[in-house]
Structure 1
Amino acid sequence: MTAEPTAATRPRNRKQLIIEAAGQVFSERGYHAASMEEIAAGVGISAAALYRHFPNKYALFAECANVMVDRLVAAVAEAPPEASLADVFTAVIRVTVAHRASGGLYRWEARYLEPADRRTLRAKFGQVVERMTEMVRREHPGPDDRLRAVAALGAIGSIAMHHTSIAQRRIEDLLLTSALRVVTADPAAAAGSALVVQLPERPVPRTRRAEILAAAIPLFARDGFANVTNVQIAQAVGLAPSAIYRHYPGKVDILAAACLQAAGLLAQAVDRSLDPAAGPRATVVALAAAYVAYSFEHNALTSVAEAEIAGLPAGLQRPLILAQREHIAVWEQQLRRARPDLDARQTRLLVHAGFGVVVEAGRALRWQNTPAHRDAVTALVIGALTL
């Protein structure tokens, strides 16, 4: 007599496996593009089984957001009082690297949390920032201690924003060095000393199509592309909603135009910053100053382009991804001239660390576009690049 097949044993950590898989999907595809079916397939279960753990996609999304930040809070809280800043940075780095695939959820997708959940998440991150600020103040006293702590965390968190393959131990060493160099930088000393940056002119909307684009960008930046309707865009321009379609086939085409505009303006800013006669370090400093100035001047446009590119159809994504790669290649080439001891992967990791500093320091400064803020963030970026 043949025995009945043994039923598959449900893993005890299935809920955790779901959260890990969901965090990766939300991070890579965005909250609205992700589906419960795709997440369930990643775990090897049916969508019905997934719904036994989470009633809907939003509940799963909120849980993912909280689990990761709870890990960071725990890593900081568990450090003994006598722990050094390097020790606590190392603990944070290990958590971040271990969950690298899902870390991108926080930079852009957290804006889709409901207000109460967003406040909870912000309060938890605040605990991490306050502990790091206290330690920076203790070991490296000076002005702007909170800004330096936030910028260092931005350098660490940048590992979730790219897929550069490099040994974990080497990642940890590079991020630790980068974060420590950020907190020893002196943003105040840079005030008034940064290079004069010649940014391309902000586009002036002279056609109805350009007016629609100009009105849509701040809406996308504030509410997220998926939450903005053509009705809202039309109202901002003073048009009937149907009139939008005379200029753009659909909302996604407005988003694509915004991303292309961002890529074009950034390319112009980079070209203007590069002086063939300058030395390697001076060139990287000029490049950093230009990128910081661009990020502050065109913050809404930049945030839309970086946050929403994953939601574009493949055909519209392709030229934007190529433009991103070209921009990063410029950074890598210039940084390796200044730091010939770095290989290509190490260089790429540090370039992204610099980008992470700009995002988090800019947010901490509420993107208030003043010369002092731009100088300070430029100094922090140079620290992250370990120049």
Structure 2
Amino acid sequence: MTAGPAAGTRPRNRKQLIVEAAGQVFSERGYHAASMEEIAAGVGISAAALYRHFPNKYALFAECANVMADRLVGALGEAPPDAPLPDVLAAITRVTVAHRASGGLYRWEARYLDRADRRQLRTKFEHVVARLTEMVRREYPMPDERLRAVAALGAIGSITMHHTSIAQRRVEDLLLASAMGVAATDPAATAGSANSVELPAQPVPRTRRAEILAAAVPLFARDGFANVTNAQIAQAVGLAPSAIYRHYPGKLDILVAACLQAAGLLAQAVDRSLHRAADPRGAVIALTAAYVAYSFEHNALNSVAEAEIRGLPADLQRPLILAQREHIAVWEQQLRGARPDLDARQARLLVHAGFGVVVEAGRALRWQDTPGHRDAVTALVIGALTL
């Protein structure tokens, strides 16, 4: 731990230090689980001193949510109008990698912003996307240039969502190559891949416990776990709120059940996809098509598992994190078989880049589940892996 400033002195950039520390805490623990006391301790100040800069946790959170968007807008603003796409993506990558600890806040936690602040944040990102879309259209004149621009940003932004450690310059090079691979990919390159995927069906809720879980997941996905009450879940199932406790000890147990169900369905999808693969490259393509199909078909369940796992107590997180690592290890092994030039960490970073493409491209398509959308996102992920 680094020593703070000498007693009685106040660094001129204290507000910036607070925002950086808060962004990391919010990113790692989620908005509701984070506390002002924890953030203050990370800066080496008292909670009272923190409140002199920000009146409440929401004000600090709103500031943090805008920081990465402002940095991206700034990076674009410094680029001349005729700047080559690789140069602009490289600038965006440098900014994102430099602030990876706090930069992912917008992906899952921005839903806790109020409507006006969400609109402001969306406007900033739309500016970035519009500028990149023009460049992608100019350098790679193919259909779906906006989708390719969004997906390229998803590949770069993926670095904020995991802790794989690689030298910064190598990270930047890999992410830039991944983003360029996305931008240069024809979304129709894997047409028909969606037809070959056999996903496990989500269990039909045949018990009251299963009905509660099925009702809770879309509420968690829409409003965030912390904002959903047991009364809302009970109403969705047609129960009295007190009846929930006969099936789950608490709301947290419903969330854990949702995360475990997501992990189980994904593991089954992976197993089925690999049975048909003849070689490592075919295995990577099959994994990609299955993961994309899973993300579209089980979007609410998957988004809950991705967004809320960081807010779980450590003992409840452990089995879910192990399941995530096992899933990534399968990808890593197959990708290294298809690309022997990669070491384990480099392969892992590119796998996460592919996942980032799915999240951002899926959102851009409003998760409308059609064969064409699945095929397009599958092609973009393969582009991100630079196969």
TM-score with structure 1 length normalisation? Answer: 0.97
State yes or no: 1:250 paired with 2:244. no
Q: 1: CA distance between counterparts of 2:66 and 2:181? A: 29
Cα distance, 1:318 vs structure 2: 1.0
* Aligned counterpart, 2:15: 15
* Aligned counterpart, 2:3: none
* Aligned counterpart, 2:284: 284
For the aligned residues, what is the CA RMSD?
Answer: 1.0
Cα distance, 1:81 vs structure 2: 1.5
Q: 1: CA distance between counterparts of 2:82 and 2:187? A: 27
Equivalences for 1:1-387 in 2 at 5 Å?
7-194=7-194, 196-275=196-275, 278-387=278-387
- Contact between 1:144 and 1:188, CA under 8 Å: does it hold in 2? no
Letter in 2 for 1:101: A
Unaligned runs of 5+ in 1: 1-5
* Aligned counterpart, 1:3: none
- Change in CA separation of 1:7 and 1:169 when aligned onto 2, cut-off 3 Å: closer
Letter in 2 for 1:121: L
Q: 2: CA distance between counterparts of 1:264 and 1:311? A: 20
Sequence identity (%): 85
The count of aligned residue pairs is 382
Letter in 2 for 1:130: A
- Contact between 2:193 and 2:289, CA under 8 Å: does it hold in 1? no
Letter in 2 for 1:67: V
- Change in CA separation of 1:277 and 1:307 when aligned onto 2, cut-off 3 Å: closer
Cα distance, 1:106 vs structure 2: 1.2
- Contact between 2:195 and 2:371, CA under 8 Å: does it hold in 1? no
Letter in 2 for 1:45: I
Unaligned runs of 5+ in 2: 1-5
Q: Which moved more, 1:295-304 or 1:95-104?
A: 95-104
Q: 1: CA distance between counterparts of 2:126 and 2:292? A: 24
Letter in 1 for 2:144: D
Q: 2: CA distance between counterparts of 1:340 and 1:285? A: 16
Q: 2: CA distance between counterparts of 1:7 and 1:74? A: 35
Q: 2: CA distance between counterparts of 1:174 and 1:243? A: 52
- Provide, for residues 218-267 of structure 1, a one-character-per-residue CA deviation record: whole Å limited to 9, x for no partner: 00000000000000000000000000000000000000000000000000
Cα distance, 1:7 vs structure 2: 5.0
- Contact between 2:277 and 2:286, CA under 8 Å: does it hold in 1? no
- Provide, for residues 49-71 of structure 1, a one-character-per-residue CA deviation record: whole Å limited to 9, x for no partner: 00000000000000011122101
Letter in 2 for 1:96: T
